[in-house]
Structure 1
Amino acid sequence: MSRDAAATRRKILDAAVEEFSARGFAGARIERISEVAAANKRMIYVYFGNKEGLFSAVLHHVIGTLIAEVPVTEDDLPGYAGRMFDHLLTHPEALRLSLWRQLERPAIGPDAADVYTSKVQAMAGQHGPAHPSGLPATDLLVLVQGMAASWLISPADLLAADGADPTSADRLAAHRAALVEAVRRVITPDSHPTGK
């Protein structure tokens, strides 16, 4: 692929990330992507085949980057949660596209089954399907990922309920610290109350 072709393909991909993350698969328009990318609409079909092929390429790019830049560290789940929060905060399109994928095209995009399977097995270790915390390893990873994303999907009124600006650097840092501590408590067996 020539440099010009590679640059055009990249512009189309960047415009498609913006379009699909804002509008999902059904709401996205090839015409808008073409206009934002300053590329001939025909080139989108040449490079990506069709709208679904372009959506798949976008998912592979964005979710693949997330998986590569924020690998699951089964021996440091609190740190993983903090790094996931940081990534989602600076790359909101990653969360939006993941949600659109689940809503509209769950079978499209990168197959991370092997990544998750190996991490779940490492989390469970020699303890069978459960993590040393006593929670099933798959459920624990789902909870940690959900906790990492929760600030970004919560209502603005809730985020501002304490009177602080939920977008300020201090408030985001405080939430990140709370997130890391919450995950630490979830995975530490002796932090669980007994008797109930």
Structure 2
Amino acid sequence: MARDPDRTREKLLHAAVAEFAAHGEAGARIDRIAEHAGVNKRMIYAYFGNKEALFAAVLEHSLGQLVETVPLTTDDLPGYAGHLFDYLIDHPERHRLALWRVLEGSRSTEAEERSTAEKLSALRDARAHDSGLDAASLLVFIMALVRAWPSTYDRMTRPSFADAAAQRAAVVEAVRRLTAT
């Protein structure tokens, strides 16, 4: 059977997302990742180098999917917040990864830093007329509002549709008020 490096890498990333989301970088085990991926654990080291590099690759992959699915819309920040809320509800493992990174003090990836810089630049340009909040504060506040509820959800305790809809509406309204000029 021919080897498919891209498929192997994808299987490892998929298994690593689940493992890191459940246990964080410190608690994750290479053996479990390899077992869930159905791949020899030596392949993790061949493709990623070590567990820290695999965690960074998982964060970068996760961020790439998020940015592609929910691009920043500077002309509709409440809408952006709503879409981001929806994404985190639908992908709770993505939010858990980000929380683990912060809790464990892992460094931000280059992709995270680049994405944040791009968002800040876009916000500065779009809101140059607004002297109320600087772009960095605005981005932090939006992210805090969006992330306030999804971190408490998982597949077993998802809120009812009505609860999630009410929470989403509250986030969107808060961002609307925050950005009203």
TM-score by length of 2: 0.86
Aligned partner of residue 162 in structure 2, secondary structure: helix
Identity %: 50
Aligned match of 1:159:
none
Displacement after TM superposition at 1:154 (Å): 5.1
Question: Contact (CA 8 Å) 1:82, 1:176: kept in 2 or not?
Answer: yes
Tell me how far 1:116 sits from its aligned partner: 2.8
Counterpart contact for 2:60–2:112, Cα < 8 Å: no
Structure 2: 5+ residue runs without aligned partners? none
Sort the Cα spacing of 1:16 and 1:127 in 2 relative to 1 into closer, same or farther, 3 A: closer
Does the alignment pair 1:13 with 2:13? yes
Tell me, yes or no, if the aligned pair for 2:63 and 2:111 is still in contact at 8 Å.
Answer: no
- Which of 171, 177, 180 aligns to 1:185? It is 177
Tell me how far apart the structure 1 counterparts of residues 28 and 127 of structure 2 sit (CA, whole Å). 46
Give the equivalent residue in structure 1 for 2:106.
106
Larger radius of gyration: 1
Would the aligned equivalents of 1:124 and 1:132 in 2 still touch at CA under 8 Å? no
Distance 1:20 1:152 in 2: 17
Which consecutive residues of structure 1, in runs of 5 or more, have no partner in the other structure? 156-164, 190-196
CA contact under 8 A between 1:20 and 1:97: conserved in structure 2?
yes
For residues 58-84 of structure 1, what are the alpha-carbon distances to aligned partners after superposition, in whole Å with 9 as ceiling and x for unaligned? Answer: 111111211221111111110010010
RCO comparison, higher one (Cα < 8 Å, 6+): 2
Supply the distance in 1 between the matched residues of 2:60 and 2:127 (Cα, whole angstroms). 33
Closer, same or farther in 2 for the Cα pair 1:166/1:39, shift >3 Å?
closer
Deviates further, 35-44 or 83-92 = 35-44
Runs of 4+ in 1 over 4 A off after TM superposition: none
Aligned-pair Cα RMSD in Å: 2.5
Cα displacement (A) at 1:153: 3.1
Q: Distance in 2 between matches of 1:49 and 1:143?
A: 36
Call closer, same or farther: CA 1:171–1:93 in 2, change over 3 Å.
same
In the other structure, the counterpart of 2:163 is 171
How far is 1:126 from its partner?
Answer: 8.0
Deviation (angstroms), 1:127 = 6.6
SS at match of 2:111: coil
Offset, 1:21: 0.8
TM-score (norm 1): 0.80
Report deviation, 1:166: 6.7
Say how many residue pairs are matched.
178
> Quick one: structure 1 residues 142 and 39, their matched pair in 2 at CA, closer, same or farther if it must change by over 3 Å?
same
Change (3 A) 1:114 1:26: closer
Q: How does 1:57-76 map to 2 (within 5 A)?
A: 57-76=57-76
Letter of the structure 1 residue corresponding to residue 142 of structure 2: V
Report the equivalent of 1:134. 132
**Residues 82 and 109 (structure 1), Cα distance of their counterparts in 2 relative to 1, 3 Å cut:** same
* Contact 1:88–1:94, Cα closer than 8 Å, also in 2: yes
- The answer to whether the 8 Å contact 2:63/2:112 transfers is no
Residue 123 (structure 1) aligned with residue 123 (structure 2)? yes
CA contact (8 A) 2:142 2:175 kept: yes
